[in-house]
A and B are shown apart, each in its own frame.
Chain A
Amino acid sequence: DTEVTQTPKHLVMGMTNKKSLKCEQHMGHRAMYWYKQKAKKPPELMFVYSYEKLSINESVPSRFSPECPNSSLLNLHLHALQPEDSALYLCASSQDRGNTIYFGEGSWLTVV
């Protein structure tokens, strides 16, 4: 079982809604990640947090807003999304940057 926990598992939201995806890990990892995965494609990196600071933003549109409240938690705030943003959103963590990355089960997002 993965030790990276994501909630909710499924989310349906309208284009004017504001929602959040949540992620938690208790492995003491200091790097946390958000990835986006479309059907039959590999995961694509969105954001990297290292020691609770944003270190990489892969030119993600501002309608996606990450937040790292503490070393165990990672949120992804969603606002004014488009239908093409529908995908599996994966949270991941690693002991530090450059170490093995462990993924959560993902949150399925559908934008209607």
Chain B
Amino acid sequence: EDQVTQSPEALRLQEGESSSLNCSYTVSGLRGLFWYRQDPGKGPEFLFTLYSAGEEKEKERLKATLTKKESFLHITAPKPEDSATYLCAVMNSGGSNYKLTFGKGTLLTVNP
């Protein structure tokens, strides 16, 4: 069974204080690892898809990296508007289900 564990559950940063969120996963065959950002009361907003170990993607202050066991979401010089819940999910390549397995998320708060 696919599993995704995100840590920490909650993270409080000062504006400008860089940090990383962790997503550890086990999956029999990885089709893709996905990062989403979710603001309270809204649907998840797609950030990145990573397909293979060693891959990296960047968008503004965010950079996602992938190894065979985990992914990191690095946040450089965060701003208060980066406050949100960050969700990690994996999609299994086995069979034809292609279901997403989500972690429980990391609640990020950036104080001004």
Contact surface of A with B, Cβ cutoff 8 Å = 2, 4, 6, 41-43, 45, 56, 88, 90, 92, 97-98, 100-106, 108
Contacts and interface: CB of A to CB of B under 8 A. Distances in A.
Interface of B: 31-32, 34, 36, 41-46, 49, 87, 89, 91, 93, 96-100, 102-105
A58 B107 CA distance: 28
Contact of B100 (A2, A45, A104, A108): A45
B103 A45 contact: no
Given A45-B99, A97-B96, A98-B31, A2 B45 contact: yes
Contact of A2 (B43, B91, B97, B104): B43
B98 A42 contact: no
26 contacts: A2-B45, A42-B89, A42-B104, A42-B105, A43-B100, A45-B99, A45-B100, A88-B43, A90-B43, A90-B44, A92-B43, A98-B31, A98-B93, A98-B98, A100-B46, A101-B46, A101-B100, A102-B46, A103-B36, A103-B44, A103-B45, A103-B46, A104-B43, A105-B43, A106-B41, A106-B42
